[in-house]
A and B are shown apart, each in its own frame.
Chain A
Amino acid sequence: MTSTASSATAAKDTGPARDNESVHAAAERISAAGESRPRPGRDPVNLPMIHNWAEALGDGNPVYTNAEYAETSVHGGLVAPPAMAQVWTMGGLHPEPAPDDPMRAMTAALDEAGYTSVVATNCEQTYHRYLRHGEHVAVTTKLEEVTGPKRTGLGEGWFLTLRYTWYVDTEAVAEMMFRLLKFRPADGDEPARPTPEPAGDNTADESDPRTGSPILPAINRDTAYFWEGTAAGELRIQRCGRCGLLRHPPGPMCSECGATKPTHLVACGHGQVYSYVVHHRPPVPGKELPLVIALVELDEGVRVLGELHGIDPDEVHIGLDVEVFFRQVDEQVTLPCWRPRTEGK
């Protein structure tokens, strides 16, 4: 659960919250406008463009380029490669922006709010049927969803989901869900916490596992109290503000009574190894292996995962008494770790 974009319901009275409100307002307005007018492709589906595509991508399938073969094939004639659907309506060298393009309107709104960079994360194409040579397609675009703000490895940003539909006359022939992240680059004044998504994983050079930055936790409104705690040398455990149930990992809602009023208590930092693994392979960026990962049952009754240090992996056992200590990883993140308990047993 590292990458789910969460809908923002921001606090009302701060500057960033006002920005969020303006982004939500723009998203609502642009989504409500629905599908853009159909924009026709420059050319009908044609052999020269298909030939160029097949040559460049190395696709020798004769149903695209060999009329004789295609005639006797399952298609009964020449067709276009399905993955070319979008190619037919690309804007070309000198694109003319459509005034009702929701992508343009939404990216402009996010530019204004300071989210100036962009990266595509997902593209899901569905082909309802193969296109025949000579058919003329037109495309419409619709803004489906805007979620955020979300902290990502690239910086804080918003995920936009757009739906493209390609038509021949009134028949929908192909569709695409396209998701992109509009973000404020991480070197700005807003510090960013990496998550494994979306702009690539944190896989370091496998030849030396200690190189590369360690994978850091995602920090959001639900988990901020926890990381503020570790930075202050406290192991904070979430407690329901209504029924008092302790829970970990943190979440917005109590699984017992459904209340959304989390508070926390500071754990005493003692517990016992409930279970553990010794990680040998594969390499983990920024970590020396083998590494013991323990599930620690706190004296308060909640279980917490963490690295276990200060003991030979062969000597770790279930029931081992452990105590928490804190290890600062970078300016923003301090990890709680565990070591055998040495006093006051």
Chain B
Amino acid sequence: MLAPPNGREMIMTVVAGRTLTAPEVVPGTALPEERIEVSPTFVVSTAIATRDFQDVHHDRDLAVAKGSEDIFLNILTTTGLVQRYVTDWAGPEALVRGVSVKLGVPCYAHDTLTLFGQVLEQVEESSENRLVLEVLGRCGRGEHVRGTVRLVLPEVES
């Protein structure tokens, strides 16, 4: 079997986990920490998968010439990872209503991105019961991203 391309345990089969229900989650609940080895392949494949062809995301020589240390993750990927980190925890039928990210230091190739998260509060928005989660992504040079995700969980198990 081929090694996963990005160092993360990838389970791409149909075995989907159960979706958490609203009564199971309370403010303060922590999400499991996740470490992502940010290989050059990971930076390049995610940039191309988000249709971002800026050279700083795939050409190290040009990235260095422009003052970066290496190629680095693009914003669409950071946003996507924040969303995916939360739905991996919440389950396949959790509904994502918003992802906000505040960007910090760049996440360069060969770094490790560690994601942390917790449920901050429950709010009533657009006649829905939503969870507001905070997600932090730290890499070697400091905080790469501070994100907020708004999520709707099923009220009862389907």
User: Does A124 sit at the interface, judged by CB under 8 A?
Assistant: yes
The residue that B101 contacts in the complex, of A66, A82, A86, A122, with Cβ under 8 A, is A122
Please tell me if A198 contacts chain B, counting CB pairs below 8 Å. Answer: yes
B13 within 8 A of A: yes
- A interface, over-half SS: mixed
B-facing residues in A88-126 (Cβ within 8 Å): 90-93, 119-126
B10 to A: closest C-beta gap in Å: 5
Does residue A74 face the partner (Cβ distance < 8 Å to B)?
A: yes
| B11 contacts A60, C-beta separation under 8 Å | yes
A188 within 8 A of B: no
A340 sits at the interface (CB 8 A): no
In Å, the complex CA distance between A264 and B63 comes to 48
- How distant is A313 from chain B, measured CB to nearest CB, in Å? 28
Of all chain A residues, the one with the shortest Cβ separation from B87 is: A61
User: SS class of chain B's interface: helix, strand, loop or mixed?
Assistant: mixed
In angstroms, Cα B81 to Cα A60, docked, is: 12
Report yes or no: A58 in contact with B8, Cβ–Cβ below 8 A: yes
A96 CA / B82 CA spacing, docked (Å)? 30
Whether B105 pairs with A198 at a CB distance below 8 angstroms is: no
Asked if A15 is at the interface (CB within 8 A of a chain B CB), the reply is: no
Taken together as a complex, chains A and B put the C-alpha atoms of A75 and B154 apart, in Å, by 12
B106: which of A56, A86, A90, A200 is its contact (CB, 8 Å)? A200
How far does the alpha carbon of A93 sit from the alpha carbon of B54 in the complex, in Å?
8
In the bound complex, do residue A73 and residue B105 qualify as a contact, i.e. CB atoms below 8 Å apart? no
Task: Identify which of A59, A74, A119 contacts B87 (C-beta below 8 A).
Answer: A59
Query: Closest Cβ of chain A: how far from B28's Cβ, in Å?
Result: 23
- CA A11 – CA B10 in complex, angstroms? 58
Let me know if A57 and B49 touch, CB within 8 A: yes
A contact residues around B84 at 8 Å (CB): 57-59, 61, 81, 83
The answer to whether B14 and A120 have CB atoms under 8 Å apart is no
Which chain B residues border A55 with CB–CB below 8 Å?
Answer: 5, 12, 45, 49
B41 to chain A, nearest CB (A): 9
Query: B103 at interface (Cβ–Cβ under 8 A)?
Result: yes
Task: Classify chain A: how many residues form its interface, as a range.
Answer: 35 or more
**A56-B45, A57-B49, A86-B76 given as contacts; is B141 within 8 A of A123 (CB)?**
no
The interface residues of chain A lying within 8 Å CB-to-CB of B80 are 53, 57, 59, 81, 83-84
Cα distance, A270 to B88, chains bound together (Å): 59
Is A130 in contact with B95, judged by CB distance below 8 angstroms? yes
CA distance A200 to B77 in the complex (A): 18
Cα A241 to Cα B119 with chains together (Å): 48
Is the CB of B79 closer than 8 A to any CB of chain A?
yes
Contact B98 A127 (CB under 8 A): yes
Q: Give B82 Cβ to nearest chain A Cβ, in Å.
A: 8
Chain A 8-67 interface residues, beta-carbon cutoff 8 Å to B: 49, 52-63, 66
Instruction: Check: B16 CB closer than 8 A to any chain A CB.
Output: yes
Q: Which of A74, A199, A201 contacts B93 (CB 8 A)?
A: A74
Encode contact with A along B54-77: 1 for CB under 8 Å, 0 otherwise: 000000000000000000000111
CA A126 to CA B103, docked complex, whole Å = 17
Inter-chain pairs besides A119-B103, A123-B75, 18 sampled, C-beta below 8 Å:
A54-B12, A57-B80, A57-B81, A58-B8, A60-B10, A60-B13, A60-B16, A60-B88, A74-B154, A81-B83, A82-B83, A82-B99, A83-B79, A83-B84, A86-B50, A127-B98, A201-B104, A203-B141
List 18 contacting pairs A-B, 8 Å CB cutoff, sorted by A.
A56-B45, A57-B49, A57-B77, A57-B84, A58-B4, A61-B88, A69-B16, A74-B93, A74-B154, A82-B83, A83-B82, A87-B50, A90-B50, A121-B103, A123-B79, A200-B141, A201-B104, A203-B142
A-B CB proximity, top 3 nearest: A90-B51, A200-B105, A56-B49
